[in-house]
Chain A
């Protein structure tokens, strides 16, 4: 009985000490955001007026609004709340797994630092996978890579970050799945990240997400018992004050959960519900498959006003596990970066050349073509 009393006392004291520590901290609110717009001209003049293989910069010969963001970050002691709201066409594309008023939520999460090294986060947060981000001001190139477009954008779940030092850290988490506020199935995915900075200026992230993501919007088939693994390596190197290099490589594996490829006979022999599922998965998702991609980045800042960035990418999804169907493609993107108004207003003229191994792109009169070249410029204002 006495032991129990001491235990309760200890718990109460601990709770009050934590409260006391928090109460001396000063809360702070930061509000940031940006507006981005762009114009692009596709030399193929596609009849559907859309650029092939693009995620956000989809419109040909159109002055387009990209995205408007307002991000609120409130910190109180060890607690933190982030509300990242986005509006406009790219917000709808980026937050595509949300619905109703949740469609404007790009991120909404709470975090608490139990210690200086251990941080707990819960809510909807941007993915740990990949080099590029939805936020245009944080990317060098305006047009986004195939790796970005075919990876997850965000997750809803909980994660723990542990920072060993400035040079190493890990993250583990459990999430509902890919790109959704609600869980689309009764399975969860696990997420992990290892960060190392072996020398100053070099940052490497090894990322992973794995789970059964059947019946989601992320094109992984309808069969419960499937499994998707995605490994991702992201690296940045500050080669000098003026030159920075980057790399992103990803390898995804999809296990369908079917013992063999689905045939017409299998569909005919199944009950109506199962037949529907089999039919949906036939051909595309009835067999194991993999996809991968690699991208290299080189940016040169001639000064704080003008810089040039080059991205070279190869993306390989021969079985069409991801969004664009079977696609093997190379892309070369050159972007200039002009920073005006104390670095708040960015103009990004850009040229991009895509070459697929099949007639993936569309030109005028609806003809298919293996290549696509786009010219354009983005205009971004940060506040």
Chain B
């Protein structure tokens, strides 16, 4: 009976261990503390940042948040030159509070493209979530697309953080006069 209990315990532990080892969804999210920037300033700068970086479907109707969408082409290596293989779209959410903000890049989706008669790459309508770990038949390209996506998003994150750094105003040094003394 004791052995049975140990086996059960072992399986339960294994199950939980496996669960914790699962790769989380393809999401980039972080809470950043920024001293001396209130939510209004953060929201204003965040709005400017999404516009400057070409995001679309910008939604600023939320009280303390900015939602937007973006996409970029991903390529497949050809024999001689690289070729468009598809497009990856994602959503961006910026939530702000006084002295801190949270960014979330999520819902990464690969859109299949196909060449048409005019040598233009056009979407086929078929999609695949980047949370999907495998792409049967084109795993190497799939991994490459995830790598390209991560690289692009990390650059965006860096740019966002730089934009939302509080600007330190030079302190005005008041000229002392003998009477102040």
Q: Which residues of A approach B to under 8 Å, CB–CB?
A: 29-32, 71, 73, 82, 84, 126, 128, 133, 135, 138, 200-201, 238, 241, 244, 301, 303-305, 339-340, 342-343, 383
Q: Are B125 and A201 in contact (CB under 8 A)?
A: yes
Interface string of B117-145 (1 = CB under 8 A from A): 11100001111000000011110110000
Which residues on the A side are within 8 Å of B83 (C-beta)? 30, 32
Complex CA distance for A84 and B126, rounded to whole angstroms: 28
Q: Are A342 and B76 in contact (CB under 8 A)?
A: yes
Which residues on the A side are within 8 Å of B140 (C-beta)? 342
Q: Are A241 and B76 in contact (CB under 8 A)?
A: no
Q: Are A383 and B79 in contact (CB under 8 A)?
A: yes
Minimal Cβ-Cβ distance residue in A for B124: A238
**Cβ-defined partner of A343 (8 Å) among B115, B118, B125, B138:** B138
Q: Are B125 and A138 in contact (CB under 8 A)?
A: no
Distance in Å: Cβ of B121 to nearest Cβ of chain A: 10
Complex CA distance for A301 and B140, rounded to whole angstroms: 20
- 10 A-B pairs besides A305-B136, A339-B138 with CB distance below 8 A are A29-B81, A126-B118, A128-B117, A138-B114, A138-B116, A138-B117, A241-B126, A244-B124, A303-B136, A339-B137
Check A383/B78 contact, CB under 8 A, given A32-B83, A304-B137, A304-B138.
yes
Check A73/B126 contact, CB under 8 A, given A303-B137, A383-B78.
no
Which residues on the B side are within 8 Å of A383 (C-beta)? 78-80
A-facing residues in B5-22 (Cβ within 8 Å): none
Complex CA distance for A238 and B113, rounded to whole angstroms: 13
Distance in Å: Cβ of A83 to nearest Cβ of chain B: 11
Distance in Å: Cβ of B145 to nearest Cβ of chain A: 11
Count chain A CB atoms within 10 A of each CB in B83, B126, B140 and give the residue with the most: B126
Distance in Å: Cβ of A380 to nearest Cβ of chain B: 13
Complex CA distance for A133 and B117, rounded to whole angstroms: 7
Q: List 10 A-B contacts (CB under 8 A).
A: A31-B80, A32-B81, A84-B119, A133-B117, A138-B115, A301-B126, A303-B136, A304-B136, A304-B138, A339-B137
**Cβ-defined partner of B81 (8 Å) among A31, A238, A343:** A31
Q: Are A30 and B81 in contact (CB under 8 A)?
A: yes
Q: Are B137 and A343 in contact (CB under 8 A)?
A: yes
Interface string of B134-160 (1 = CB under 8 A from A): 011110110000000000000000000
Minimal Cβ-Cβ distance residue in B for A127: B117
Q: Are B136 and A31 in contact (CB under 8 A)?
A: no
Which residues on the A side are within 8 Å of B136 (C-beta)? 303-305
Which residues on the A side are within 8 Å of B125 (C-beta)? 200-201, 238, 241, 244
Complex CA distance for A303 and B137, rounded to whole angstroms: 9
Minimal Cβ-Cβ distance residue in B for A84: B119
Which residues on the A side are within 8 Å of B138 (C-beta)? 304, 339, 342-343
Complex CA distance for A138 and B80, rounded to whole angstroms: 20
Complex CA distance for A71 and B117, rounded to whole angstroms: 12
**Cβ-defined partner of A71 (8 Å) among B116, B119, B124, B135:** B119
Which residues on the B side are within 8 Å of A303 (C-beta)? 136-137
Complex CA distance for A111 and B162, rounded to whole angstroms: 42
Complex CA distance for A305 and B137, rounded to whole angstroms: 5
Distance in Å: Cβ of B141 to nearest Cβ of chain A: 5
Which residues on the B side are within 8 Å of A84 (C-beta)? 119
Which residues on the B side are within 8 Å of A29 (C-beta)? 81
Which residues on the B side are within 8 Å of A201 (C-beta)? 125
Which residues on the A side are within 8 Å of B79 (C-beta)? 31, 383
Which residues on the B side are within 8 Å of A200 (C-beta)? 125
Distance in Å: Cβ of A99 to nearest Cβ of chain B: 24
Check A32/B137 contact, CB under 8 A, given A71-B119, A201-B125, A238-B125.
no
